Amino acid sequence: MNKNSKVLALKYRPKIFGDLIGQDVVADTIVNSIKTNKIPNAYLFTGIRGTGKTTIARIIAKSLNCSNGVDNLCQSNQCDNCEAIANSNHIDVLEMDAASKTGVDDVRDLIEFSRYGPTTSKYKIFIIDEVHMLSKQAFNALLKTLEEPPEYLKFIFATTEIKKIPITVVSRCQRFDLSRIKSSEMFEFIKKIKEKENGKVSDEALRLIVKISEGSVRDALSLLDRGLLTLENGNELDLTSAQKIFGHFDKSRLIEIFELILNGKEQQVIEHYRKIYDQGIEPKVFINDFLELIYYFKNINSLTLESTNFSLNDEEFIKIKEISNKIDNQILILFWQFTIRTIGEIDIVSNQNLSIEMFLTRLIYISSLKNNDEIEKKNETSELLEKKTIMSDFKNETIDQIKNVTQEKKNKPETQTDIKIEEKFIIKSFDDLLHICSSQKEIKLKYELEKNVNLVHFEKNRLEISFNDNLDKNFVKDLSAKLFDWTAQRWIITLSKTKGDISIKEKEEYKKTELIKQAKETKLYKTILEKFPDANLLEVSLKKKDE
């Protein structure tokens, strides 16, 4: 392949430790270990995408097997070993993608292959990328060889999800956590690449690329490659063009929206947002940038322009500082909470754009709150409303709800005193108890008393019962609480081993059975059977005069 036809991420991939950026400590540690011949059995590299995990693994393989040694590692005129490793066809350096070979059989083949020494180099090296994808059985099969490999065998693991790797494997490796590349280093790096490619890109556009890449070198080079490909002869990739290409918008427009929200100009806020949306900006990108802006408004006095990682320019930094002095921190905290909540709502609503517009409208009403008392009251009210909307019987029950003046007047006669004395009940029998359960709409308690409870003894403030296996476990506690509420007296409920009377439901079933049995003995029923042999008597109702 022609070198110029490669994408920038491959074309400028580091070949030696000196080419790496942002990982100086890792590089120095590895070089020193090779020089002093204190090479670990296995290396483990972890970090986000594009920070150099696989690249460092290949450089280590070169350093261990280079004919010239680690101090004179091949860069341009490569030895046979370095060239073969760079082209991924070295017989003693095996690169394996654990995402496609996850099983224990694949690891067994690897271990079997490791029994044979290197053919053309000093070390046999296994590079396993995305090692967290291996199965539990595959990791277990690897443990013994990983702890005590032959002197000629070295393992190099790379992963983006270190938590998925068993601790028994991690403890057998020398672990290196690769950090995100600093914005200043990334900026200087892609600026040099831009000059080597003879591309015309403004510094503002490069800073936008650095911001979007989030510390990933590969992402930054891919974005730069994409930006250079869109240029026509002689044109420069400026900030406006880069924002259109990469789907980002000018931060100053977001600051304008924020200022309009604080001033309560709802129509202008929606118009500004729709212009941004019409440019093709995704709602998720907008909401995340808005969240970042809230952070700057809250902490701008403790930040410097350099610490914002190219997210803000001089004018935007000054503008935010001026506005932040006029905003109550309580408002900003509320803004942050509502923005976090909206991120979750976006995935639920089919039209995400509508959700963002409603979110901006809510912020306008929140910003109208002027003091802490109003804010706290608003929070309490919103929490109560959220709880009540979840309840299915909200319309029938009133649970700790705040009534307005109109409701109070409607529900309370003018002659009624402010303090209402609650009416108490007198319970003299088991039937009285059932009647009160019905009147107080305690249907569950009544059901348990009728269906699953057998009365043994009843007297004043004392109830002795037996029960079947279907009785609710909280029945005694619930009944005691209700009896105290109804009578303002303590009741003793005793569970007896005595069988007691049959339950109310059993009495009703017995009575029904007896009535049907008596009815079947009547002449009328026998006459009906003669004419309708298949007839059956299911229920009997007595008239009051017969009772």
The CATH number for 173's domain is 3.40.50.300
Domain stops at, among 177, 196, 227? 177
Domain stops at, among 314, 347, 368? 368
237 and 138 inside one domain: no
Q: Is 16 left (phi over 0), alpha (psi -120 to 50) or beta?
A: beta
Residue 516 lies in a domain: no
Domain stops at, among 501, 518, 542? 501
Between residues 204 and 309, the one the model is more confident about: 204
Give the model's pLDDT for residue 365: 83
Q: How far apart are CA 427 and CA 488, in angstroms?
A: 11
80 and 122 inside one domain: yes
Residue whose structure tokens are 């409208």 = 361
- SS3 call for 79: coil
171 and 79 inside one domain: yes
Of 155-159, 283-287, 514-518, least confident by mean pLDDT is: 514-518
Residue 507 lies in a domain: no
Domain holding 188: CATH number?
1.10.8.60
Most confident of 36-40, 322-326, 343-347: 36-40
Residue 261 lies in a domain: no
170 and 196 inside one domain: no
- Using the CB atoms, write b or e for 159-176: b if 16+ within 10 Å: bbebeebeeebbebbeeb
Give the model's pLDDT for residue 149: 87
Mean pLDDT across 220-233: 85
Between residues 291 and 3, the one the model is more confident about: 291
The backbone torsions φ and ψ at residue 485, rounded to the nearest 5 degrees and listed phi first, read: -65, -40
At 99, the amino acid letter reads: A
pLDDT (tens digit per residue) in 19-63:
888 888 999 999 999 888 889 989 999 988 888 999 999 999 888
Domain holding 270: CATH number?
1.20.272.10
Count: domains in the chain: 5
Give the model's pLDDT for residue 57: 92
Give the model's pLDDT for residue 307: 58
396 and 488 inside one domain: no
State the DSSP code for 501: S
Residue 354 lies in a domain: yes
27 and 42 inside one domain: yes
Question: Torsion angle, CA of 281/282/285/288, rounded to 10 degrees?
Answer: 120
Q: Which domain does 492 fall in, by range?
A: 430-501
23 and 137 inside one domain: yes
Give the model's pLDDT for residue 272: 87
Structure confidence at residue 418 as a pLDDT band (50, 70, 90): very low
Residue 169 lies in a domain: yes
Residue whose structure tokens are 């000196």 = 18
Domain holding 473: CATH number?
3.30.300
pLDDT (tens digit per residue) in 478-509:
888 888 888 888 888 887 777 666 777 677 77
383 and 409 inside one domain: yes
Residue 513 lies in a domain: no
Residue-averaged pLDDT of the chain: 79
Residue 255 lies in a domain: no
HEC readout, 314-355: HHHHHHHHHHHCCCCHHHHHHHHHHHHHHHHHHCCCCCHHHH
Is the CB of residue 73 less than 8 Å from the CB of residue 34?
no
Residue 251 lies in a domain: no
Residue whose structure tokens are 């322009």 = 305
Q: CA 530, 532, 536, 537 torsion: positive or negative?
A: negative
HEC readout, 255-303: HHHHHHHHCCCHHHHHHHHHHHHHCCCCHHHHHHHHHHHHHHHHHHHHC
170 and 309 inside one domain: no
pLDDT (tens digit per residue) in 265-320:
888 989 888 888 887 778 888 888 888 888 888 888 887 766 565 566 667 778 88
Roughly what angle, to the nearest 10 degrees, separates helices 283-299 and 266-278? 130
Between residues 410 and 22, the one the model is more confident about: 22
18 and 109 inside one domain: yes
20 and 164 inside one domain: yes
Mean pLDDT across 409-428: 53
Q: How far apart are CA 346 and CA 193, in angstroms?
A: 38
311 and 450 inside one domain: no
